Amino acid sequence: MEPLALDHLVIAVSDLARADDFYAHVLGAIVQEHVPGRRSYHIAGQQVNVHHPGMTATLVAREPVRPGNSDLCFVWPGTAGQAVAHLTACGVTVEVGPEPRTGAGGRGLSVYFRDPDGSLLELISYEDDASSRPTPAGRSSSPS
């Protein structure tokens, strides 16, 4: 069998307009409305479907995703320091990082922050040499 690829994933938000703005401004998402009331965010070839108040979803998990209950990682196209600078410029608080992590692309440096509902988001940079720049665990970075 050939390896499978992830097609899309689902997040839930409590305020659609606020989430649209955050994901478009901070993560560069293209916001698409497939049919009235059905949204998705397209980020670097990935699709994130959005469940929101007032929406009726079909075929959901036994425990549907709730706002603030997601944990997503996106590949940052530059260095972890540039990711921190971008988040700071967007008014987003960095909770942890840069931290050495292993992702689908191997070793990298990750920066952690939250969306407006509290879901944990991560930007991982594979441009940094993670082995030469260890950061103490749990330390929050601030831009220089």
Active site residues: 122
Residue 144 vs residues 68, 82, 124, 141: alpha-carbon distances, Å = 30, 11, 19, 9
Q: CA-to-CA distance for 65 and 117, rounded, in angstroms?
A: 12
Q: Up-side HSE of residue 114: CA atoms within 13 Å toward CB? A: 10
